[in-house]
Amino acid sequence: MASSPRIDHERLFACSPNPVAVLNSDCTVVAANHAYEAVVGLPRKELVGRTIFDLYAATSEHGLDPNTLNASLQRVLDHGDTDAIGPAAGGVAPSGDPHKRDGGRRLPTCVNTPVCDDWGRVTHILHCAVTMHGDVSRPASPAEGPVSRTHTRHALQVDGQRMREMFEQAPGFMTVLRGPDHVFELANNAYYQLVGHREIIGKPVREALPELAGQGFYELLDQVYATGEPFIGRAMPIQFQPRPGAPLETKHIDFIYQAMVDDDGAVTGLFVQGHDVSEAHALAQQVSYQATHDTLTGLGNRRKFEQELDEAVQRPGGQEMVHALLYLDVDQFKVVNDTCGHAAGDELLRRVAQAMREELGNHGTLARLGGDEFALLLDGCSLECGRQWAEALRQCVADIDFVWGSRRFGGSISVGVVTFGGERVNAEEILSTADSACFLAKEKGRNRVHVHSADDDELTSRLREMDWVSRLRQAMDEQRLVLYVQDIAPLQHDIGPLNRQEVLVRLLDTDGVIVPPMAFIPAAERYSVMPTIDRYVVRAAFRHYMALDADQRKARYYSINLSGTTLNDDTFVSFIEQEVADHGIPARRFCFEITETAAIANLTRTASVVHALRQLGFSFALDDFGSGMSSFSYLKHLPVDFIKIDGEFVRNILDDDVDRAVVRSITDVAHTMGIRTVAEFVDNDAVAALLWELGVDFAQGFGVHKPEPIERRRGRS
């Protein structure tokens, strides 16, 4: 190989793609390379001899704040440590033209590195402008011309020894490769730390670093040497063998391969410079992993699973490509948590996840969606295939013998299975359908599988109910639940002309249609939305009553329905107490209606609520009496003011002797206990007349009054 001119450190300094200036102890510029000239927009002859502060504007709006820069340089001089600083907000490097603020390039960071003599004294400072984004530290492009010997001849005013010191103390690794075989000519300490301390000087790269074979780096070096075009790599993985016989170590590096040329523009070698970013890369990988994985089980999390599901939905394949989605819920998980604590619950979830992962092997994508819910995506899996996998997973979890302390628990899961493919659906709909199928499996007794098919009327009904839940919540947010009232008319003369009305709720749909309660109340009860609706109605009725004029308030009584779930709400009594205190509600003007079945479902709890609210002055009615057990014995423990006789006994009272006898007996017993009676479903005057004969106190039904908006009744007493 032909001999090549010896490269000196001055040339190396000039060729560096990083913008660097050399300062003496007075912070005066004694040297600068081409990259630094490009940054500041001034030729080198106008840089040398000026203090670094002269090169930056006097205020922070022109780059680095002078005080910050001065403090950094002083720290380097005082302590001999490298110091990095950032610019002032919106700062840019000086542009050469003080009146042209956009002429400079943005300078995010400066690194000031000490250069020491043999006694450790700081004699110079390497002032390096490091950019995190942008083009400050880019190598010269072909349009700017190659780096030539002419350009570097008068580049530096410091001796070769000083340049060698700066080369060795540079914060990143550097090496110089000579000729087409890329023979190592120079390497700094940082480079030896990267590749391991071995004999490399004078050897071609392929001989000095044989472990790079097959990794593509030899080819990159050849490419840059042949074309003269630089190559920039970001966090590229590279394997080194730092010691003979040692296993390969993977590192990630940021680097630049820059061609070096002679006076005639011919490429004579390569300058390699960069940083080992392995720690930063590992941290980024860890953060990325944590963002997509569940820390408890190691499975993918909801975010990652939804991405996978969305990709499967959009993946081309036509009608023949079918995928299965399994939604899995751990049964009775709350029992373990409540009896043994969260540590036991966490361990159970880990055991369940491990069992399912072992059962699946490499099949499908299993994830923990949150809490005790998991999901499995199976590509190219039919409905029957999905059912078989669901049964296999159900069985493997059932085989878990979970023991915590002295308690033993059996494992079980409920699984919902759906398939999709070809049809126009989205990931959210599929996941919701699978969730509903899983819910049905739990409702049917748990530890079972529910497979959804196109003719699954049960699941279709459930999905409609779930849709009602979201519609109800939106309606409440938009104040589209509206109040209606229906008169409760007195039948007996001794009662007097009281104006009693039952408050009813309707949904004003987005298209302006009024939706009756039986369309949405079942869904609200199933999905525990009724307590929210009850509070909405109570609050609206209270507000309406307080808005009436004084004369109307004197003659108006409202009855408001409460659901069974509201009776079990520990905070409902305090909610009513707060409403009464805040708005001065006259409790005696309101009656709460509770159904017989809800009342006896938890008689102790119901009696507690009734007693607490009666003490505030509210009255109570037992609604739909006769539809449940029709036992008078619990009335001794449940003090109510009214009994509303179920309409099934009232509707045919004219023709059915048994119905008539039931109404008479209920009325007689109620009066003996001092309770008033109300007959429901009164459709005509003949029924009302017979009820009067039987001694019933009030009548309610379409024959008495058809429900109408509460606002329409404001002007009538």
Residue 463 within a domain:
no
**What pLDDT, on a 0 to 100 scale, did the predictor assign at position 668?**
93
* Domain-terminating residue out of 138, 162, 186: 138
Tell me: do 130 and 155 sit in the same domain. no
Helix (H) or strand (E) holding 222: helix 217-227
Residue 8 within a domain:
no
Mean pLDDT computed over 325-352 = 90
Tell me: do 267 and 315 sit in the same domain. no
Dump pLDDT digits (tens) for 491-511.
Answer: 988 776 568 999 999 999 888
Q: What are φ and ψ of residue 447, in 5° steps?
A: 50, 45
* Domain-terminating residue out of 97, 114, 138: 138
Q: Is 500 left (phi over 0), alpha (psi -120 to 50) or beta?
A: beta
pLDDT band, residue 564 (cuts 50/70/90): confident
Tell me: do 615 and 677 sit in the same domain. yes
User: Which has the higher per-residue pLDDT, 219 or 8?
Assistant: 219
Most confident of 102-106, 527-531, 632-636: 527-531
Mean pLDDT computed over 589-605 = 86
Dump pLDDT digits (tens) for 68-96.
Answer: 788 888 888 888 888 777 654 333 334 34
Mean pLDDT computed over 537-561 = 92
Residue 5 within a domain:
no
Most confident of 330-334, 400-404, 471-475, 699-703: 699-703
* Domain-terminating residue out of 454, 489, 522: 454
Mean pLDDT computed over 560-572 = 91
d(CA 282, CA 288): 10
User: Which has the higher per-residue pLDDT, 326 or 39?
Assistant: 326
Given a cut of 50, whether residue 101 has pLDDT beyond it is: no
d(CA 175, CA 202): 12
Residue 466 within a domain:
no
Q: Classify residue 45 by its DSSP letter.
A: G
Q: Are strands 249-261 and 231-240 parallel, antiparallel or unpaired?
A: antiparallel
Domain that holds residue 393: 298-454
Given a cut of 70, whether residue 540 has pLDDT beyond it is: yes
> Which residues fall within 8 angstroms of residue 650, CB to CB, at 6 or more apart?
659, 663, 679, 680, 681, 682, 687, 691, 701
> Which residues fall within 8 angstroms of residue 162, CB to CB, at 6 or more apart?
22, 115, 123, 124
**What pLDDT, on a 0 to 100 scale, did the predictor assign at position 297?**
93
CA angle 389, 392, 393 (to 5 degrees): 90
Spatial contact of 519 and 559, defined as CB atoms under 8 Å apart = no
Tell me: do 603 and 530 sit in the same domain. yes
Given a cut of 80, whether residue 414 has pLDDT beyond it is: yes
User: Which has the higher per-residue pLDDT, 265 or 357?
Assistant: 357
We report the CATH number of the domain holding residue 409 as 3.30.70.270
Given a cut of 90, whether residue 675 has pLDDT beyond it is: yes
d(CA 597, CA 627): 8
Residue 443 within a domain:
yes
Given a cut of 80, whether residue 456 has pLDDT beyond it is: no
- Other C-beta atoms closer than 10 Å to the C-beta of 303 total 12
Give the Å distances, CA to CA, from 326 to 366, 451, 531, 680: 9, 9, 32, 47
Residue 465 within a domain:
no
Residue 462 within a domain:
no
Dump pLDDT digits (tens) for 424-441.
Answer: 678 888 888 898 889 888
CA angle 220, 225, 228 (to 5 degrees): 105
Helix (H) or strand (E) holding 513: none
Three-state DSSP class for residue 32: strand
**What pLDDT, on a 0 to 100 scale, did the predictor assign at position 459?**
62
Given a cut of 80, whether residue 103 has pLDDT beyond it is: no
| Percent of the chain whose pLDDT exceeds 90 | 41
3-class secondary structure per residue, 243-298: CCCCCCEEEEEEEEEEEEECCCCCEEEEEEEEEECHHHHHHHHHHHHHHHECCCCC
pLDDT band, residue 105 (cuts 50/70/90): very low
pLDDT band, residue 131 (cuts 50/70/90): very low
Closest CA to 373 of 430, 287, 442, 445: 442
User: Which has the higher per-residue pLDDT, 352 or 245?
Assistant: 352
Mean pLDDT computed over 517-543 = 88
Dump pLDDT digits (tens) for 16-56.
Answer: 777 888 998 888 988 888 888 877 778 878 888 888 887 76
Q: Which residue has 């081409």 as its token pair?
A: 34
What is the full DSSP assignment across 581-597? HHHT--GGGEEEEEEHH
**What pLDDT, on a 0 to 100 scale, did the predictor assign at position 497?**
57
Give the Å distances, CA to CA, from 446 to 398, 413, 451, 452, 528: 11, 7, 14, 16, 20
Dump pLDDT digits (tens) for 222-242.
Answer: 999 999 999 999 889 999 988
Alpha helices (H) in 123-204, listed in sequence order: 149-152, 160-169, 189-195
pLDDT band, residue 484 (cuts 50/70/90): very high
> Which of the residue ranges 160-164, 200-204, 262-266, 347-351 would you say has the lowest mean pLDDT?
160-164
**What pLDDT, on a 0 to 100 scale, did the predictor assign at position 17?**
74
Tell me: do 501 and 552 sit in the same domain. yes
Indicate the average pLDDT of the chain. Answer: 82
> Which of the residue ranges 50-64, 271-285, 372-386, 584-598 would you say has the lowest mean pLDDT?
50-64
Mean pLDDT computed over 667-690 = 93
Cα radius of gyration (the chain)? 42
Mean pLDDT computed over 329-350 = 89
Q: What are φ and ψ of residue 31, in 5° steps?
A: -165, 155
Q: Which residue has 């502060």 as its token pair?
A: 53
Tell me: do 529 and 672 sit in the same domain. yes
The sheet with strand 20-24 has its strands ordered as 29-32, 20-24, 122-130, 109-116, 83-85
Q: Encoding tokens for residue 262? A: 């002679």
Tell me: do 106 and 154 sit in the same domain. no
> Which of the residue ranges 349-353, 502-506, 526-530 would you say has the lowest mean pLDDT?
526-530
Count the domains in the chain: 4
**What pLDDT, on a 0 to 100 scale, did the predictor assign at position 627?**
65
Tell me: do 494 and 630 sit in the same domain. yes
Given a cut of 60, whether residue 139 has pLDDT beyond it is: no
pLDDT band, residue 107 (cuts 50/70/90): very low
d(CA 289, CA 246): 29
**What pLDDT, on a 0 to 100 scale, did the predictor assign at position 601?**
76
**What pLDDT, on a 0 to 100 scale, did the predictor assign at position 589?**
94
**What pLDDT, on a 0 to 100 scale, did the predictor assign at position 422?**
66
3-class secondary structure per residue, 439-474: HHHHHCCCCCEEECCCCCHHHHHHHHHHHHHHHHHH
Q: Encoding tokens for residue 496? A: 């007097």
Tell me: do 230 and 337 sit in the same domain. no
Dump pLDDT digits (tens) for 255-300.
Answer: 999 999 888 889 999 999 889 888 888 888 888 778 889 989 999 9
Q: Which residue has 């059915």 as its token pair?
A: 656
Most confident of 47-56, 420-429, 464-473, 691-700: 691-700
Tell me: do 76 and 183 sit in the same domain. no
Tell me: do 120 and 153 sit in the same domain. no
Three-state DSSP class for residue 409: strand
Residue 461 within a domain:
no
Tell me: do 118 and 260 sit in the same domain. no
3-class secondary structure per residue, 68-102: HHHHHHHHHHHHCCCEEECCCCCCCCCCCCCCCHH
> Which residues fall within 8 angstroms of residue 687, CB to CB, at 6 or more apart?
650, 653, 654, 679, 699, 701, 703
**What pLDDT, on a 0 to 100 scale, did the predictor assign at position 109?**
65
Q: What are φ and ψ of residue 77, in 5° steps?
A: -70, -35
d(CA 163, CA 429): 67
We report the CATH number of the domain holding residue 240 as 3.30.450.20
